[in-house]
Amino acid sequence: MTRSAAIQHACDYFDSGAFLEDVSRRVALPTESGDPASLRPLRTYLEEEIVPAVEGLGATARIVDNPVPGYGPFLLAERHEGEGLPTVLTYGHADVVPAQADRWRTGLHPWRLVVEDERWYGRGSADNKGQHTVNLAALEHVLRARGGRLGFNLKVLVETGEECGSPGLRALCADLREDLAADLLIASDGPRVQAERPTLFLGSRGAAQLTLRVNLREGAHHSGNWGGLLRNPATVLAGALATVVDGRGRILVPALLPPAIPDPVRRALADIPVGGGAEDPAIDEGWGEPGLTPSERLVGWNTFEVLALGAGNPDAPVGAIPGTAVAHCQLRFVVGTDVADLGKVLRDHLDQHGYPMVDVEVGRAMPATRTDPDHPWVRWAAGSVERTTGAPPAILPNLGGTIPNDAFADELGLCTVWVPHSYPACAQHAPDEHLLAPLAREALQIMAGLFWDLGDTART
């Protein structure tokens, strides 16, 4: 058969309702990785959904316990067709964020796929069950169209803890480096830049969690009796934060800034739109690092965000000076930013600005990764997508968000190419999460074309 036949088979699979049936069945499994009670459903998802899917591809599958106790397992599968053929590793995650069932719109439920026009609602429909269902199905249709061959070697890794930080993933990759060795990673997660524009992204910004805390005294004290005499921790914390990030969102600590944006990254971002969708928030002009385009600020630069801020009781304020204040913050950072001594950098900065009473706590940091947009595998993948859709895809050197790409890029040393099958307004991680049906249908075509073309690389 031909490339076009493989793509048509993938479309027929969607049009027949079989894709909807597969996603519905997978959404119905409550796989919240943050809930210890979900360890059984997580393993069930791998056993009942992914094992049959990869065995249908002629792959040998096994489920491996997490090297970090208390977290869900991994599935590994391999189909080896021959020496000298390219080897691809594909990845997905079976887990989802908390369901938040009481916050979904009337008529919707996180564990039941509900179809409303082009939107398929359900927890995991977009993140990530719908996306890895696309990729596994595309592989199946290429296999059939080629008469039982892919033309390349396949490895599959599905984890069950991505939504709680991928505990054990990097250690697993280190322990099983030979088992997971490949020429490149092709995987899907996150959104396209716009629903109608196919996208490749090649890594992700890193993320470091930070807490700034001011603990001055036990209890609160009457503001009329003690105001002007007692240091107010909320005021102190606000002042301290203002030395880190200013009122226009610009980072003021030089050590928290990245190097200059590399020219290949600037070129790749030159035609990347940000926002503009019907449900997207309006971008605030004059916010963030000056002199950069919106796409450069989002993808090519660092941001320091205050995620939560507290002192006293905001819901029932009283006339008293609080004793404590806290700010939970996050640094999103790109490749080239040194975060090894992040706590010391902030400690020294606050001391120099007169805030020794502000404590700094540094949580887990996930590394930043980025593949060169000019890498031969990236050019190949972009060419394949353009051949299928008739237009070049958007290429992001890295995602603005954070995924566990460091396990593949750093630990396994792979070129990483991500092909997202969702869009910015999918309500990922929120109530009313949904998959956009026309986008999913196009994604099946793109991935069937991509895997077909990968099988052709050994012949060229």
- Residue 77, pLDDT > 70, answer yes
- Residue 460, pLDDT > 60, answer no
- Residue 40, pLDDT > 70, answer yes
Tell me: the pLDDT tens digits for 274-310? 887 777 888 998 999 999 999 999 999 999 999 999 9
Q: What is the average pLDDT across 379-407? A: 96
pLDDT of residue 278: 77
Q: What is the average pLDDT across 29-36? A: 90
pLDDT of residue 280: 82
Q: What is the average pLDDT across 86-112? A: 97
Instruction: Say which range, 100-109, 337-346, 406-415, 450-459, has the weakest mean pLDDT.
Output: 450-459
Helices marked H in 198-271: 223-226, 233-244, 263-269
Q: What percent of the chain is modeled with pLDDT above 90?
A: 95
Give the start-to-end residue ranges of the domains of the chain. 3-190+403-459, 206-276+288-366
- Residue 38, pLDDT > 90, answer no
pLDDT: which is higher, 276 or 425: 425
Tell me: the pLDDT tens digits for 46-62? 999 999 999 999 999 99
Tell me: the pLDDT tens digits for 127-166? 999 999 999 999 999 999 999 999 999 999 999 999 999 9
pLDDT of residue 459: 62
Into which CATH architecture does domain 3-190+403-459 fall?
3-Layer(aba) Sandwich (3.40)
Q: What is the average pLDDT across 99-122? A: 97
pLDDT of residue 457: 85
Q: What percent of the chain is modeled with pLDDT above 70?
A: 99
User: pLDDT band at 87, cuts 50/70/90?
Assistant: very high
Pick the CATH number of 206-276+288-366 from 3.40.50.2300, 3.30.70.360, 3.40.718.10, 3.40.50.720: 3.30.70.360
What's the whole-number average pLDDT of the chain?
Answer: 96
pLDDT of residue 276: 78
User: pLDDT band at 76, cuts 50/70/90?
Assistant: very high
The predicted model scores a pTM of 0.92
